[in-house]
């Protein structure tokens, strides 16, 4: 789906009309509105309203994870893998260090 597709304008409008930032009282609501779950829920609620949208197989972007969540089994079809570190959230020092080490080790070739 190309930039400028009507889907994107409709999604942005939905986020700022149906989910006004002033109503978000907890930062954990943000991914439910604008992250993968929010995007999916928006698309599924309007599936017939947009032409030219192709949804690849789950393994293309969300392959099964391995190595305690550090790697993935995507094969040739995998484009990427969302490792869900939520680095934008506030964390304790211990959690921040753990996530930092996970990100670094996930970048190592397996």
pLDDT for the residue 47 = 75
Average of per-residue pLDDT values in the chain: 75
Give the residue-averaged pLDDT of 72-93: 66
pTM as predicted? 0.52
Q: What is the pLDDT of residues 8-39, one digit of tens each?
A: 899 988 888 877 767 777 777 777 888 878 88
45 has pLDDT over 70: yes
The 3-state secondary structure of 68-85 reads HHCEEECCCCCCCCCCCC
Give the residue-averaged pLDDT of 56-70: 67
Instruction: Give the other-Cβ count within 10 Å of 81's Cβ.
Output: 19
């Amino acid at each position: 789906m190309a930039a400028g597709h009507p889907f994107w304008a409709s999604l942005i409008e939905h986020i700022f009309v149906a989910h006004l930032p002033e109503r978000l009282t907890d930062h954990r609501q943000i991914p439910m509105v604008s992250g993968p779950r929010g995007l999916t829920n928006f698309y599924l609620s309007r599936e017939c309203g947009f032409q030219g949208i192709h949804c690849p197989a789950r393994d293309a972007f969300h392959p099964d994870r391995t190595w305690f969540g550090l790697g993935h089994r995507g094969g040739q079809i995998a484009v990427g893998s969302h490792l869900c570190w939520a680095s934008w959230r506030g964390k304790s020092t211990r959690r921040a260090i753990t996530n930092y080490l996970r990100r670094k080790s996930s970048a190592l070739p397996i």
